[in-house]
């Protein structure tokens, strides 16, 4: 049973290696000569004009949350799409699979229309 998870382990290890190897190579190969301008809050050497803890507009967070919400809902379509051939091949499940995805997409569209009507997607 565990041998079925070996490709997943290899995928995770290769992904981590691809993430950390450029950082490690950059640390080993690049010169490290810090000075006062490089260690300033901004690498351009200027002092910040405003406080780093300034308040953002609430609409920015609303757009970000809506993006994550709809992006996550779209990600739920991928498992259904991977087994689509099995759903269509089985007569008992064919109608259920269609209705199930129709309900899911309709909830997604209703949520999108609701956000649009409420003005959550408007940026002034």
Rg for the chain, CA atoms, rounded = 24
What mean pLDDT do residues 100-113 have?
Answer: 90
Cα of 37 vs its chain's centroid, Å:
34
Question: What mean pLDDT is reported for the chain?
Answer: 83
CATH number, domain 2-117, options 1.20.58.1610, 3.30.499.10, 3.30.365.10, 3.40.50.300: 1.20.58.1610
List, for residues 4-50, the tens digit of each pLDDT value.
899 999 999 999 999 999 999 998 998 888 777 666 666 555 566 66
Closest CA to 70 of 110, 108, 113, 114: 108
What mean pLDDT do residues 108-115 have?
Answer: 90
Instruction: Delimit the domains of the chain by residue range.
Output: 2-117
List, for residues 49-79, the tens digit of each pLDDT value.
666 677 777 777 888 888 888 888 888 888 8
Question: Quick check: 101 and 80 in contact, CB under 8 A?
Answer: yes
* Contacts of residue 77, Cβ cutoff 8 Å, sequence gap at least 6: 101, 104
């Amino acid at each position: 049973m565990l041998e079925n998870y070996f490709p997943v382990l290899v995928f995770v290890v290769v992904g981590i290696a691809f993430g950390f190897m450029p950082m490690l190579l950059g640390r080993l190969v690049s010169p490290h000569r810090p000075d006062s301008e490089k260690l300033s809050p901004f690498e351009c050497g200027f002092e910040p004009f405003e406080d780093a803890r300034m308040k953002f507009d609430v609409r920015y967070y609303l757009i970000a949350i809506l993006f994550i919400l709809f992006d996550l809902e779209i990600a739920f379509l991928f498992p259904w799409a991977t087994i689509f051939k099995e759903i269509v091949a089985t007569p008992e499940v064919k109608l259920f699979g269609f209705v199930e995805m129709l309900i899911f997409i309709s909830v997604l569209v209703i949520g999108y229309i609701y956000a649009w009507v409420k003005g959550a997607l408007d940026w002034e």
